[in-house]
Amino acid sequence: MKRNIIIGVASIIVAFGAIIGLAKACAPQTDPTPASSVATQSKNKKTHHKKAKKINAAIYRPYKDPKDLRKAGTWKKKSETKKHPKINPNETDLTLRVSLKGNRTYLLRKGKVIYTMLSTGGIYKKGKSLTPTGKYTIQGGRGDSFFNYNLGEGANNWTSWSPDNVYLFHSVPTKGDGTYNLKEAKKLGQTQGSHGCIRLSVPDSRWIMNNIPNGTKVVIKDK
């Protein structure tokens, strides 16, 4: 009888063990993501962060003039001998980087310079430019021409980078009769001269007005 009891208990234990084994095999894992996959995701995030840092750093570094950049003072032609780059109206990875003391405006795509323009920013008074430095965006304000009677100066092909349309990208200045001010035009790419706006060559200013999307980042630095 004792033997039968022992055999019965043993059978129950075996059956219970089988049930537990089946339960473990069918239960969903609490963490279905392998450790190697988690490590890969973390690595990808770090890589993306590094790329973002590199792009941001690229926007602020000084750049060398391209070989096909025209001579400073050239205002009737586009700044580079090559064609202006093709821009998608929906692009969001563009930046216009302005160097006030360098008298250059750079167009970057994903942190890489794709076009360099001769430019002239605000004159310096007490060591500070009349052009504000910082981060801005291209606004909806654009137009073929304007004239400021208080300053006795106008320009063509303007594109705003301030909400109130005070600060603009535009052509070299025009006089009251609509002709270009040759004395001021010769400053393009050589020295500062504006009251706060960024002057460009006539073709470059027209191209920006017609092609650069609203919302494009604008970064203005002294150097």
Give the model confidence (pLDDT) of 118-157 as tens digits: 999 999 999 999 999 999 999 999 999 999 999 999 999 9
Q: State yes or no: pLDDT of 86 exceeds 50.
A: yes
The pTM of the whole model exceeds 0.95: no
d(CA 152, CA 161): 22
Q: Is position 170 within any domain?
A: yes
Q: What pLDDT score was predicted for residue 50? A: 57
Query: What are the Cα distances from residue 37, in Å, to 14, 31, 49, 51?
Result: 38, 11, 18, 21
Q: Is position 75 within any domain?
A: yes
Query: Of 21-25, 39-43, 69-73, 81-85, which range is least confident?
Result: 21-25
CA dihedral 27, 30, 35, 39 (to 10 degrees): 140
112, amino acid identity: K
Q: Is position 209 within any domain?
A: yes
Q: Is position 213 within any domain?
A: yes
207, amino acid identity: W
Asked if residues 198 and 120 have their Cβ atoms less than 8 Å apart, the reply is yes
CATH value at residue 122: 2.40.440.10
26 catalytic per annotation? no
Query: Of 15-19, 150-154, 192-196, which range is least confident?
Result: 15-19
Q: Is position 18 within any domain?
A: no
Q: What pLDDT score was predicted for residue 19? A: 35
Structural domain tally of the chain? 1
Q: Is position 212 within any domain?
A: yes
Q: State yes or no: pLDDT of 6 exceeds 50.
A: no
d(CA 147, CA 188): 19
Widest distance between CA atoms in the chain: 124
197 catalytic per annotation? yes
Catalytic residue chosen out of the listed positions 26, 48, 84, 170: 170
Q: Which of 77, 82, 109 is nearest to 96 (CA)?
A: 109
Q: Is position 42 within any domain?
A: no
- Residue 203's domain comprises 68-221
Token digits of residue 174: 């025009």
Q: Is position 94 within any domain?
A: yes
